[in-house]
Amino acid sequence: MIIMLNFFYFVFEKSPLQYFICVISHKWIASETQVAFSFCYLILAEKDPTPIKILDLQPLPVNPLRTSKYEDLYNFKFFFQFNLKFLIHYIIQIISVFLNASTSSEKMICAEFAILILFSK
């Protein structure tokens, strides 16, 4: 029988190099184990990361899609700044991109662009 134990421990500053996790069963007598958990190689994120400079990009028309059926899918004629940054990195350079943005930032359109490009090749 395999039992998986998941827990979260929030680390905000340097902590001891090692924690001991003790697991004790309430059903079986003398059934306990202790495991050492090491934080030696833990890399913490910066508390105050440097701000990222936002690029001042001019709107780009949807023509670079080069396919009229793709252009007709959407009711806008210019890409938004978020879409434009995605286009620069994914469509033009064909590299992997991690999208992380707020809910109203057109991430779904970027994902649709990626799928359309994948199917067109």
pLDDT (tens digit per residue) in 83-98: 666 666 666 666 676 7
Q: How far apart are the first and last CA of the chain?
A: 47
Q: What share of the chain is helix, strand, coil (3-state, %, to 5)?
A: 25, 15, 60
The per-residue b/e assignment along 61-100, b for 16 or more CB within 10 angstroms, e otherwise, is ebeebeeeeeeeeeeeeebbbbbbbbbeebbeeeeeeebe
Confidence of residue 25 (pLDDT cuts 50, 70, 90): confident
Q: Answer whether 110's CB lies under 8 Å from 91's CB.
A: no
Radius of gyration over alpha carbons of the chain, in Å? 24
Share of the chain above pLDDT 90, in %: 0
- Residue-level pLDDT at 24: 85
Stronger pLDDT, 22 or 58, i.e. the higher one: 22
User: How buried is residue 106: exposed, middle or buried, by Cβ count under 10 Å (0-12/13-18/19+)?
Assistant: buried
What's the pLDDT score for residue 95?
A: 65
pLDDT of amino acid 105? 62
Confidence of residue 112 (pLDDT cuts 50, 70, 90): confident
